[in-house]
Structure 1
Amino acid sequence: MVVPPVAVAPPPLLPCPAEAGWELVARARLPRRDANGQASGGFSAAGYQSDTDALLLLSDAPQGRVSAWSGVRRLGRVPLQPLFQLDLTGSPRAPLPAEIDGEGLVVLGERLWVASEGRRRTARVAQLLAFDRDSGQLEHAYALPADWRPAPGRGLGANQGPESLALLRRPGQADRLLMAAESPLLQDPPGQVRLLGWTFGPTSAVARPLARLAIPAGAGWGLTDLLVVDAASPAPGLLALLRRFQAPDQWQILLAHYPLPDGETEPDVVLQPLRQWDLIEAGLPPDNWEALTPGPAQADGRPSLLLASDDNFSAFQDNHLALLVPRRSVPCPPSQ
């Protein structure tokens, strides 16, 4: 009799207790020039593949580009090595605008899903874009719901998102993509951003409003990335990377933990964070942190978060990478 292997749930990706916070275990910088001497940066989203130890970084350069890097497991000890670079392009059946602003990335099967930020102009609207993973050619472009589109006094503000995209995969359920606005829509109250869930049909993707996430109401705050955590557990959640810039050079970076809205949550419900952590206090250098992805498991079994910053191709900023692990105290049971 052959006994099938028992699936082992990954360890929970949160500190326990919550106030224990996060430990910065590694940092690195990526080069500002690629192998051809061209400017490299603008990293606005990330996806880590643990089976190959490969990190995919989406650049918000005008035409869009995905670069791959190896060596994340040795981050901070040896330089990361470039694997390849993939330019995002249009195709005869799906022309690409002259400029896109790729801000969110999910790798799903043979596709790269990208959240494209808009400028309230017909030639540069916010969309969900699906690219072929191998060629980088655009396959489909999906419009955002009507409430999100530019109209007098309504819709996304210029350069205000969407900046995030996350995969929601739960046992027995169809995959969904979660997308959040960076800032409140023009018609919405301050301090809350809308959340969408995208589902897939044979030839289309459909967006459904899920809930709103409460963010700090002060000027300059925005949501820059999302990550579903502990999806297979009874209490899955969302991690959101929150950023604030105040001229001339003041940065604030928070990591917020929210409950995951279910099918019964009304779209107008505002979800408050269960916990927030100050990542500058945790050791991140003050900069434009925009990307969030699960990182490699550590030698002691703890999971990790990998974060990347967007240098905006500016000499005054940098392309940082940082690896955070959740602190856990002895009384915390393995399941929490």
Structure 2
Amino acid sequence: MSFHGSMLRDSMLSFALASMIASAQGSNVELTDSQDGAGRRVTACEFIGEVTLPTGYAFEDTEVGGLSAIAYDASRNLYLALSDDRSKHDPARFYSLAIDLGDGHLDAGDIAFTGVTRLRSGSGSVFAKGDIDPEGIALAPDGSLFISSEGDASKSLPPFVGHFDRSGVEIQRLPIDAKFLPETDSGVRDNLAFESLTVSPDGRSLYTAVENALLQDGPEATVEAGSRSRIAQYDIETGREVGERIYEVGPVADRPALGIGFATNGLAELLALDDAGTFLALERSYTLGKGFRVRLYQVQARDAEDVSGRFSLQGDGEADRPVRKALLLDFGDLVEMVDNLEGMTLGPVLPDGRRSLIVVSDNNFSAGQFTQFIGLALTIDDAPRPDRP
């Protein structure tokens, strides 16, 4: 999701959170592996640093901004950061960058941009203005890329998940079920479509998700109530969708001043931790005049109901089994000011054996915002699955 700069400038100038702590730990969800019965869970998260870049920062004649997603290529020790520029400022693109975590911390000078790759259609042409809204990026097992686009529901431009080669050329698009296509009374909401994108560690499954409920599934998130989004799972070998699960997005974190003004909360990113439906989830809330609240959750989808056969989720919600989630941390407890955090990826193992997590913000190319990289160290435990009926 992108927010318009004029909407944000006034609120961001006055928005700051004062509480800062060095580490955070939250409730855990049992993480199970369907193959051998072992469980995985994040048992601790520690803040290891922050780097910010000002709006207007340039690299190779492009403006670095709108970083909506990030992926780590372990084979090259390289990160790929996707800009959600709809070819308005510069052609749609992703950046290659190196992040030095050799000392176990993320500090000024640790991030270096090394390349920029323009996205191109199958014909080899860069995408025209408005033809793509890049929001998610994930690395395929063969080193190629999956990229999701939110489309533009206001113009009946559908969202899509595309398969791209490493040079940025689109190879093909995955089929999208009709329930997601923007129509008058059904499909994705404008600017609340395919934001998340992640590949399971075994390389067999690709997951994407809408930020809020489809029009036919229920209302979008408000201060009073959340919204039921869908997580869609694809079989990478066949390219076909094989299931959908309900993810219950929480209510908007803060009420607008005087009770009026723009406010939203949405599922901004998913990150697969194992092959059995265990994820990290990033929920990003924004309220005009209050700023951003971003929270990290641990999610288990293994026992959730498959709702792919239901065009609408309304009518029998009591019978639904959504994914389970538990709060790990609120980024407002880690840094003084939280920007529009939208992307995250696991990085290399740190010197002390913990796993790094990098989170990045989309600055909306707004002068009142900035590009923010936040580093976390995760303790991820493998343990036997407890006996249960």
Higher RCO structure (Cα 8 Å, ≥6 apart)? 2
Q: Which moved more, 1:85-94 or 1:308-317?
A: 85-94
The 1-side partners of 2:382 and 2:184 are apart by 52
The 2-side partners of 1:123 and 1:210 are apart by 23
Match of 2:95 among 67, 86, 104: 67
The 2-side partners of 1:146 and 1:283 are apart by 41
Return the structure number with greater helix share: 2
Match of 2:354 among 278, 302, 317: 302
RMSD across aligned C-alpha pairs, in angstroms?
2.6
Match of 1:58 among 82, 104, 112: 82
SS at match of 1:273: strand
**Residue 82 (str. 1) matches residue 107 (str. 2):** no
Q: Which moved more, 1:264-273 or 1:246-255?
A: 264-273
Q: Which moved more, 1:95-104 or 1:64-73?
A: 95-104
Asked if structure 2 preserves the Cα contact closer than 8 Å seen for 1:13 and 1:304, the reply is no
Q: 1:1-336 maps to which residues of 2 (within 5 A)? A: 14-16=41-43, 21-30=44-53, 32-63=56-87, 64-74=92-102, 75-92=106-123, 96=127, 98-99=129-130, 100-108=132-140, 109-121=142-154, 124-133=157-166, 135-170=167-202, 175-190=204-219, 191-201=227-237, 205-218=239-252, 220-229=264-273, 231=274, 237-261=278-302, 265-267=305-307, 269-283=321-335, 285-326=337-378, 335=383
Asked if structure 2 preserves the Cα contact closer than 8 Å seen for 1:104 and 1:114, the reply is yes
SS at match of 2:329: strand
Write the deviation string for residues 234-255 of structure 1: whole angstroms up to 9, x where unpaired.
x751111000000034211111
The 2-side partners of 1:197 and 1:93 are apart by 29
The 2-side partners of 1:96 and 1:186 are apart by 28
TM-score by length of 1: 0.82
- TM-aligned CA distance change 1:14 to 1:201, over 3 Å: closer
**1:3 alignment counterpart:** none
Q: Which moved more, 1:214-223 or 1:178-187?
A: 214-223
Asked if structure 2 preserves the Cα contact closer than 8 Å seen for 1:196 and 1:207, the reply is yes
Asked if structure 1 preserves the Cα contact closer than 8 Å seen for 2:331 and 2:338, the reply is no
The 2-side partners of 1:140 and 1:97 are apart by 18
Asked if structure 1 preserves the Cα contact closer than 8 Å seen for 2:70 and 2:79, the reply is yes
The 2-side partners of 1:123 and 1:215 are apart by 25
Q: CA deviation at 1:295?
A: 1.9
Q: CA deviation at 1:161?
A: 1.5
Q: CA deviation at 1:201?
A: 4.5
Letter matched to residue 221 of structure 1: N
SS at match of 1:187: helix
SS at match of 2:59: coil
TM-score by length of 2: 0.72
Q: CA deviation at 1:207?
A: 1.7
The 1-side partners of 2:42 and 2:184 are apart by 44
Q: CA deviation at 1:283?
A: 2.9
The 2-side partners of 1:41 and 1:55 are apart by 15
**1:6 alignment counterpart:** none
Q: Which moved more, 1:80-89 or 1:139-148?
A: 139-148
Q: CA deviation at 1:168?
A: 1.5
- TM-aligned CA distance change 1:327 to 1:266, over 3 Å: closer
The 2-side partners of 1:207 and 1:304 are apart by 30
| Unaligned stretches of 5+ residues in structure 2 | 1-38, 220-226, 253-262, 308-319, 385-389
Asked if structure 2 preserves the Cα contact closer than 8 Å seen for 1:284 and 1:322, the reply is no
Q: CA deviation at 1:198?
A: 1.1
Q: CA deviation at 1:14?
A: 4.8
Q: Which moved more, 1:182-191 or 1:237-246?
A: 182-191
Write the deviation string for residues 22-47 of structure 1: whole angstroms up to 9, x where unpaired.
22112112464323443211000001
- TM-aligned CA distance change 1:162 to 1:86, over 3 Å: same
Q: CA deviation at 1:261?
A: 2.6
Letter matched to residue 271 of structure 2: L
Identity %: 25
Write the deviation string for residues 132-157 of structure 1: whole angstroms up to 9, x where unpaired.
11x21111123421111112211100
The 1-side partners of 2:112 and 2:334 are apart by 27
